Structure 1
Amino acid sequence: MEPLRAAGRRFSAAVTGRWSAWLVLLVALALSGAVVSLGGEARTSNDPTGALPASTESVEAAALARQLPGGRVNPALVVYSRDGAPLDAGDEAAIGVHVRAFAPVATGPISPPVLSPDRSAALLAVPLPADASPDEVTDAVDRLRDAAREGLPSGLTAQVSGGAGFRADVASSFDGANLTLLLVTVAVVAGLLIVTYRSPWLWLVPLAVVGAADVTANGLIAVLSRAVDLPIDPSTTGIVDVLVFGAGTNYALLLIARYREELRRRPDRREALRRALTSAGPAVAASATTVVLSLLTLTVAVLRNDRAIGVAGAVGITTAALYGLVVLPAALAVCGRGLFWPFVPRPGQPEPTRAGGWAKVGAVVARRPRAVLAGVLILLVVLSSGLAGARLGLSKTEQFRVQAESIDGLRTLSRHFPAGAADPTVVVGRAAAEEPLLSAITGTPGVASARPSGRTADLVGVDVVLAAEPDSAASYDTIRELRDRVHAVPGADARVGGTVAANLDTRDAAVRDLRVVVPLILAVVLLVLTVLLRSLVAPLLLVATVVGTFFAALGASVLLFTHVLGYPALDTSVPLLSLLFLVALGVDYNIFLAARAREEAAGAGTRQGILTSLAVTGGVITSAGVLLAAVFAVLGVLPLVTLTEIGIIVGLGVLLDTLLVRTLLVPAIVLLLGRWFWWPGALARQADPAPSGAGSDPPDGAGSSPPDGAGSGPPDGATPAREGAPAGQ
């Protein structure tokens, strides 16, 4: 361990030196500028099934459908209605005029309008290219909507929906949304930093460093996306911004809190900064390593969007950690103690945290650890009970938090046409087996109608309208039954695709990823905690508390979504991503608390070590947790229900972790287990010093301030001897 400590001291001296700190800042500025200039736009994908593996049946069906005449179109559906009243001759004439007006936008002939059975609605399909970019689709749909509003008789409405309309609304909903997200995130972080530091300018330093890290990370992600053909959609960019600002600010809070602590002990501010970086740096590095490795477990996911979030998030967290460990100390080094004005830490000042509010909380937990443990566990179980009513999977009409014309059009269609008419399921098979294939399709329960949609010498396509609401349980049952039946047709070699089939495949893939990736995430966290804490019991218990926090947050959020916000279900990607972010980021606080407790326990014993750790880290963990929860809540400014759900679950989970689990439950567990919490490490063999007054309760001031000049850990270059262990172990 001594070579590592020596390397750490050399590193801290290099980034905090009188001239080297300026050099670090100049190099960081130059590198950031170069990355931003080279970054450009990240690669995006226009393929609706691009998130699924090529071997998925809906993807195979889409590939076959593109070989059919008209298979490379993505129609925009224009829905005409009169609020339930039948359409009259004037309405039909106006629709006929629109057929000619839409022709310049369409990529092929426009079929005659289709009237609903009750003649109260009409449907017009306008073919648009399936491989068009999001900007091209948005432009075409905007032109259609402008043309559709012209010349309408009074009372007649026209809504542009369908696949093209939905893609255009998704793209338009993100116009400026990520900028808004970034601005709101910066405002939230700035406000909370001002409240935390109570200084007019200290907050500017970490905010500037984290902001530079975010810009640099986005540039790196853009370059990487083009280099390895990894599409990055706008929601991924928003998630990465939140990760960088949340984690980066947490790292800054921990380092600056330790720096301020050292400034109260040492007259040389650079020496204080070096000690703070040497002490807090390993915890930050371990925390970042855990998050990065956890994010990279998503590379084994089958959903391409999840893999993109994993890789992009890992780049973002790595960048945030490097800026926090290199650029932030250099920035602090060039500033004097006055940076903390008006509360400037001076040598000889008492450490307020050691006898403050969290020290009193620790004393309460120490007096009644069993009661605290039972109370927190009961609360977590009660909150987890909300999972009983959870449902997985959102339909198209349920994915927007804001009004979208494509969604309104789908609802109009569902009132007047069979539920699946707006987006038919597509079956593609061999032309030689067309008749038995059609017979199998029409004989499937839940199929409202079926008609051939295109032929080649070898293939035939069939558009299938389902009777059930798209993306409902009944529609998924119909897709499964339909697949079973067409697969049984001899020589058909048929594939079932379309939006509903793709959504079913996506949900199944999400469930598979949840089963495969979650154990990997937990294994990564266990491994890092085991190496950091040199224990087996502590990592297992700490991971268990994080998992318990996740289920409690998920259950409470389901109740909120169902009974307050009116969301019918969790989106397919929400459980996995929420668990990933909550476990990976929640372990930060485990590391901050447990690493400091281990440091303190080396000299004062496990009992006093956890109480001192709670006293001195409780404030920074609370500040970091509140800030991270607020940053994730900012995802709610984006228009998709998926991101709002992730933001709420992670934000609520972080608050539970910060205010209950990390500050009450974990200390209670450590106090009950004592030194066995560190088993089989050396600390498990070190008996706690006998308390003054055997059997007495610890005083409220447990963990009070050490004598002037005494550090919370060992002096430079030394490790105190522990009972049963040689000095320096």
Structure 2
Amino acid sequence: MKNHIPGTERVPFWLRWLVPVLLVLTWLAVAGVGGPTFGRLDEVSSNDQASFLPASAEATAAQEWQSKFRDSDEVPGIIVIENADPMTPAQLGEMAELKTRLAELKLGSAVIGPIPSEDGRAVQFVAPIDSSGELKEAVKELRDTVAEAAPDGMQTYVTGPAGLAADLTAAFAGIDGILLLVALGAVFVILLIVYRSLLLPIVVLLTSVFALCAAILLVFGMAKAGWIQLNGQSQGILSILVIGAATDYALLFVARFREALTHTTNRTAAVLKAWKASFEPILASGATVIIALLCLLFSDLNSNKALGPVAAAGILCSLFAALTLLPALMALFGRAAFWPFRPKLVPAGEREPELVTGLEGQKGLWRATGSLVSRRPRIIWVGSVLLLVLAAGGLLQLKANGVPQTDVILTASNAVDGQDALARHFDAGSGSPAVVVADESKAADVLDTVKSADGVGEAYLLAPGSVPITGAPGTPADPDVRDGKVLINATLNSAADSLEAEEAVKELRTNVRDVDPGALVGGVTATALDTNTTAQRDLVIIIPVVLVVILFILMLLLRSVVAPVLLVLSVVLSYAAAMGVSALVFNNIFGFSGADATVPLFGFVFLVALGVDYNIFLMSRVREESLKHGTRPGILRGLGVTGGVITSAGVVLAATFAALGVIPIMFLVQLAFIVAFGVLLDTVLVRSLLVPALAYDLGAKIWWPSKLGRGLPAGPAQQAQHIPKHSAEEEPAAEAAR
């Protein structure tokens, strides 16, 4: 006789077949539309500087004024031709001929140059490029032409805003293909090892891929409507986050489904039971991450604001896929999904063993872990805390105050090499001047102030018809005037991405406001300075908001105050430890010059939100078991039955984020390491040892002020929580007594 779950013995046809088939067909339709949209994201994506700037910073306001001085959408490309020895008159003559060839390309307005360096070993051209077309292709054409026309033995570079933008776009090129293939390949291998099944890993991956298709469709629509600003950075994180989160949720559901199949032969009834058991933790987990990500909307950095809703949309689609598509597929495949190791029906008498210690029925690693936790809980959680505090000490070496623009791209870059050549032969700040926007009536006085400022090599008013960044000098009597404002270019003595240049900009801002209170100072250096300042402000504002939101959700889920507070403290400590170790690795192993100013915030949002996920999976099951068996047995039982699935989920998420490392952008490589290491740390140490040991030490107090925290009515199962802790020798006897 078949065994069925009480109340579900008769499952109607529409629930067994019609609903699952309709759900699968609906998701197939979504994937059919969303899949091709993946290749169209470039239509609504931008990697220009405006997509990363602080929204209300002075540098952003200055850039908006610069755009008013443009008569076309042109971006300057700085051409540098370098020779080992001083150039001869004949070679300089060839440089003049090169200008004619550059003009024939018709990439933009008139080419400026050649401008020889003081040492005679280099010349510089300024070639404005119309950015309304394909900037990457235009820069490639320019590089090919310069390399072909330059005399033998000379090095040629195309750098400046156009060259750097083109190389940045090229670095992000792997997001559409390589990143996705690496992430999916890594997840597939892990799932094969976890499930030892051929079909189930494919089903889980299909859930993740369909969730990604839905997310892409949603994000594309929002970007097309102008609701969000999409860039390569948020696009890459979206793919990784959806695959990782959807797979994590799928692992939890599949674990519950496998467990239900040991109680019934009815696959639909098993799906319903698994859905009911996993709905609350999956929903709480997804809601936690979504709300934490939406807290990025409080940021003043455009890059942060862009990522918040993009990533939240991805988690939302992952949530829906895990709770609709995956159950439908499981309802159709049933036990066949687990072939060749199909779950076997467990005799009714063995399904719900009465627990004494909580270790009954467990084997292997998780029985040993539970036994260790029950014998020495205080030593374990105190030792874990001390280890995390020690790792967090590395935070003192974290240099998250921005990195030079030339260090952002980790692979070979003609533009980066060109910036170095530019600094060798011209003023260090050449090609990336500070830009001062001043009132027309005070133009002469502001210009004199800028020229006399420390750290400024030269300064000039922009002439009519010039390119705003590297245009020709004008005179105080005849500057280019737009809406009553003039533009002053100030070449700094220090490299634009140096600390010395930032100090020069700070002093320049103070000095020019004494003459013109409404003056603005922008440019590359000012943008970096304002970005770092804004990032520090965001940390102070967003971190407390995220913690309060997560704490509130945990309180609703666990019906407790003590447990949520301890869980939040544990993931914060885990985050600090991950950042500390990451700082040591970045400085001493990878040899990075520093870290992007937004790295600590992004690391916090992902690690805290995702780290809480695993505690939600653990403690929701612990609470369920505690209601049946008592708190301490419930802790060991919950740890044992969730140990494998949560560890697998952590490894999957770490692997997917590690895949970000294939994109040669320093920010993404750093984020990949921080999240991958942090998730593993949280999964292995915090969730497996620290949280269970601390909860076991506190006992029923962990659930205060709920009824569970005050003790349940007397009964064999409930009284178990008051049984003294057993030693290793006493455990077998306790089980025998049962």
- TM over 0.5, shorter chain: yes
Tell me which residue corresponds to 1:325: 323
Task: State the distance in 2 between where 1:644 and 1:597 align.
Answer: 36
Task: Tell whether the 8 Å contact from 1:546 to 1:587 is kept in structure 2 after alignment.
Answer: yes
1:386–1:13 CA distance, 2 compared to 1 (3 A)? farther
1:265–1:61 CA distance, 2 compared to 1 (3 A)? same
Alignment of structure 1 residues 386-535 onto 2, 5 Å: 386-391=394-399, 392-454=401-463, 455-457=479-481, 458-490=484-516, 493-535=518-560
Alignment of structure 1 residues 710-721 onto 2, 5 Å: none
| Cα shift at 1:697 | 2.2
Letter of the structure 2 residue corresponding to residue 543 of structure 1: V
1:225–1:694 CA distance, 2 compared to 1 (3 A)? closer
TM-score by length of 1: 0.91
- Alignment of 1:356 with 2:364, yes or no, is yes
| Cα shift at 1:71 | 8.3
Alignment of structure 1 residues 225-240 onto 2, 5 Å: 225-240=223-238
Tell me which residue corresponds to 2:719: 689
| Cα shift at 1:605 | 1.1
Letter of the structure 1 residue corresponding to residue 414 of structure 2: E
Task: Tell whether the 8 Å contact from 2:78 to 2:431 is kept in structure 1 after alignment.
Answer: yes
Task: Tell whether the 8 Å contact from 2:262 to 2:343 is kept in structure 1 after alignment.
Answer: yes
Q: 2:280 pairs with 279, 282, 288, which one?
A: 282
Task: State the distance in 2 between where 1:554 and 1:9 align.
Answer: 49
| Cα shift at 1:308 | 1.6
1:323–1:228 CA distance, 2 compared to 1 (3 A)? same
* Secondary structure in 2 matching 1:150: helix
| Cα shift at 1:70 | 6.6
Task: Tell whether the 8 Å contact from 2:75 to 2:162 is kept in structure 1 after alignment.
Answer: yes
Task: Tell whether the 8 Å contact from 1:162 to 1:423 is kept in structure 2 after alignment.
Answer: yes
Tell me which residue corresponds to 2:715: none
Task: Tell whether the 8 Å contact from 2:46 to 2:232 is kept in structure 1 after alignment.
Answer: no
Tell me which residue corresponds to 2:354: none
Task: State the distance in 1 between where 2:617 and 2:361 align.
Answer: 15
Q: Which moved more, 1:112-121 or 1:361-370?
A: 112-121
Q: 1:367 pairs with 358, 370, 375, which one?
A: 375
- Alignment of 1:89 with 2:89, yes or no, is yes
Tell me which residue corresponds to 1:673: 698
Q: Which moved more, 1:161-170 or 1:566-575?
A: 566-575
Task: Tell whether the 8 Å contact from 1:359 to 1:612 is kept in structure 2 after alignment.
Answer: no
Task: State the distance in 2 between where 1:700 and 1:424 align.
Answer: 74
Q: 2:595 pairs with 559, 570, 574, which one?
A: 570
Task: Tell whether the 8 Å contact from 1:611 to 1:702 is kept in structure 2 after alignment.
Answer: no
Letter of the structure 2 residue corresponding to residue 26 of structure 1: L
Q: Which moved more, 1:95-104 or 1:262-271?
A: 262-271
1:69–1:327 CA distance, 2 compared to 1 (3 A)? closer
Q: 2:674 pairs with 649, 661, 665, which one?
A: 649
* Secondary structure in 2 matching 1:359: helix
Letter of the structure 1 residue corresponding to residue 693 of structure 2: A
Letter of the structure 2 residue corresponding to residue 689 of structure 1: Q
Once the two structures are superposed, residues 382-403 of structure 1 have per-residue CA deviations (whole angstroms, 9 ceiling, x without a partner) of 2111111211201111101111
Alignment of structure 1 residues 108-507 onto 2, 5 Å: 108-129=109-130, 132-133=131-132, 136-348=134-346, 354-391=362-399, 392-454=401-463, 455-457=479-481, 458-490=484-516, 493-507=518-532
| Cα shift at 1:704 | 8.3
Tell me which residue corresponds to 1:76: 77
Q: Which moved more, 1:301-310 or 1:558-567?
A: 301-310
Task: Tell whether the 8 Å contact from 1:589 to 1:658 is kept in structure 2 after alignment.
Answer: yes
Task: State the distance in 1 between where 2:52 and 2:31 align.
Answer: 31
| Cα shift at 1:480 | 1.0
* Secondary structure in 1 matching 2:50: coil
1:86–1:353 CA distance, 2 compared to 1 (3 A)? farther
| Cα shift at 1:563 | 0.7
Letter of the structure 1 residue corresponding to residue 367 of structure 2: A
Tell me which residue corresponds to 2:16: 17
Once the two structures are superposed, residues 175-208 of structure 1 have per-residue CA deviations (whole angstroms, 9 ceiling, x without a partner) of 2443110111110111111010011222111111
Task: State the distance in 2 between where 1:704 and 1:75 align.
Answer: 78
Task: State the distance in 1 between where 2:148 and 2:546 align.
Answer: 55
| Cα shift at 1:453 | 2.3
Once the two structures are superposed, residues 507-533 of structure 1 have per-residue CA deviations (whole angstroms, 9 ceiling, x without a partner) of 212112121111111111111100000
Task: Tell whether the 8 Å contact from 2:595 to 2:670 is kept in structure 1 after alignment.
Answer: yes
Q: How many residues align?
A: 695
Question: Where does structure 2 lack aligned partners over 5 or more consecutive residues?
Answer: 1-5, 352-359, 464-478, 713-717
Q: 2:648 pairs with 623, 648, 665, which one?
A: 623
Tell me which residue corresponds to 2:626: 601
Tell me which residue corresponds to 1:722: none
| Cα shift at 1:541 | 0.6
Task: State the distance in 2 between where 1:89 and 1:638 align.
Answer: 44
- Alignment of 1:662 with 2:687, yes or no, is yes
Task: Tell whether the 8 Å contact from 2:539 to 2:601 is kept in structure 1 after alignment.
Answer: yes
Task: Tell whether the 8 Å contact from 1:471 to 1:504 is kept in structure 2 after alignment.
Answer: no
Tell me which residue corresponds to 1:612: 637
Task: Tell whether the 8 Å contact from 1:605 to 1:689 is kept in structure 2 after alignment.
Answer: yes
Q: Which moved more, 1:624-633 or 1:431-440?
A: 431-440
Task: Tell whether the 8 Å contact from 1:436 to 1:489 is kept in structure 2 after alignment.
Answer: yes
| Cα shift at 1:566 | 1.1
| Cα shift at 1:47 | 5.0
| Cα shift at 1:336 | 2.9
Task: State the distance in 1 between where 2:606 and 2:389 align.
Answer: 21
* Secondary structure in 1 matching 2:535: helix
Task: Tell whether the 8 Å contact from 1:91 to 1:156 is kept in structure 2 after alignment.
Answer: no
Tell me which residue corresponds to 2:3: none
| Cα shift at 1:293 | 0.9
1:566–1:90 CA distance, 2 compared to 1 (3 A)? farther
1:442–1:30 CA distance, 2 compared to 1 (3 A)? same
Letter of the structure 2 residue corresponding to residue 96 of structure 1: A
1:701–1:149 CA distance, 2 compared to 1 (3 A)? farther
Task: Tell whether the 8 Å contact from 1:267 to 1:346 is kept in structure 2 after alignment.
Answer: no
Tell me which residue corresponds to 2:475: none
Task: State the distance in 2 between where 1:76 and 1:694 align.
Answer: 75
Task: Tell whether the 8 Å contact from 2:51 to 2:229 is kept in structure 1 after alignment.
Answer: no
Once the two structures are superposed, residues 303-331 of structure 1 have per-residue CA deviations (whole angstroms, 9 ceiling, x without a partner) of 12211211011111110110100110000
| Cα shift at 1:268 | 2.2
Task: Tell whether the 8 Å contact from 1:471 to 1:503 is kept in structure 2 after alignment.
Answer: yes
Task: State the distance in 2 between where 1:488 and 1:287 align.
Answer: 53
* Secondary structure in 1 matching 2:74: coil
Task: State the distance in 1 between where 2:328 and 2:485 align.
Answer: 66
Task: State the distance in 1 between where 2:89 and 2:361 align.
Answer: 80
- Alignment of 1:30 with 2:23, yes or no, is no
* Secondary structure in 2 matching 1:365: helix
| Cα shift at 1:287 | 0.5
Letter of the structure 2 residue corresponding to residue 536 of structure 1: V
Task: Tell whether the 8 Å contact from 2:47 to 2:232 is kept in structure 1 after alignment.
Answer: no
Task: Tell whether the 8 Å contact from 1:49 to 1:58 is kept in structure 2 after alignment.
Answer: no
* Secondary structure in 2 matching 1:428: strand
Task: State the distance in 1 between where 2:594 and 2:55 align.
Answer: 27
* Secondary structure in 1 matching 2:570: helix
Task: State the distance in 1 between where 2:677 and 2:735 align.
Answer: 32
Task: State the distance in 2 between where 1:38 and 1:417 align.
Answer: 46
Question: Where does structure 1 lack aligned partners over 5 or more consecutive residues?
Answer: 1-5, 708-729
Task: State the distance in 2 between where 1:484 and 1:14 align.
Answer: 76
| Identical aligned residues as a percent | 36
